[in-house]
Amino acid sequence: MAIPLSVSAQAFIRAKVWANFATLIKDGSPQVTPVWVDTDGQLIINTAEGRQKTRNIRRDGRVATCIMSAESPDKYLLVRRKVKEVTTKDAEHHTNVLSHKYSGKDYPYSAGEVRVKVIIEPTHVTERGLTWPRPAHRSHSGPNVPNLFPTLSGETANI
């Protein structure tokens, strides 16, 4: 069952953070790629048709993503899930949004490149160092775990 990303996790993803995206190759071994990330309440990455990670998720949608702060290695977010959707809808626009976030300019498309958005609906989320006061570590794998961690604004974060 999917769980929502917390308010602090979504704010973290919207910042200029770095992510490693793990998929499974046909023989079952992991393939890890650095990716840009975004959120609309779910985790979104953007890639192109024909790339290894796209072929992998079309065959086996089980993925994991580790999203890290460039400034503070003890701030990170881990997300696991089976991919919810792979779509070309708005993918080119989304590529440019991410490119401006990370590089400040339009994305340099290759001729014939078809962009895709990969939407990941988390079933397991681990947050570290994203809220204050922060617990040493928190992990959540479903909707029945009580939420005891308020965010800085005082609202309860859904983890």
CATH code of the domain in which 118 resides: 2.30.110.10
Q: Whole domain around residue 73: which residue ranges?
A: 7-140
Whether the predicted model's global pTM rises above the 0.85 cut? no
Does 22 reside within a domain?
yes
Helices (H), 1-90: 7-14, 52-59
Count of the separate structural domains present in the chain? 1
Mention every residue, 6+ apart, whose C-beta is less than 8 A from residue 141. 3, 123, 124
pLDDT in tens, the chain (159 residues): 788 899 999 999 999 999 999 999 999 999 999 999 999 999 999 999 999 999 999 999 999 999 999 888 889 999 998 899 999 999 999 999 999 999 999 999 888 999 999 999 999 999 998 874 444 445 555 544 444 344 444 444 444
Contact 23, 31 (CB under 8 A): yes
Does 65 reside within a domain?
yes
DSSP string, 81-129: EEEEEEE-TTHHHHHHHHHHHHHSS---PPTT--EEEEEE--SEEEEES
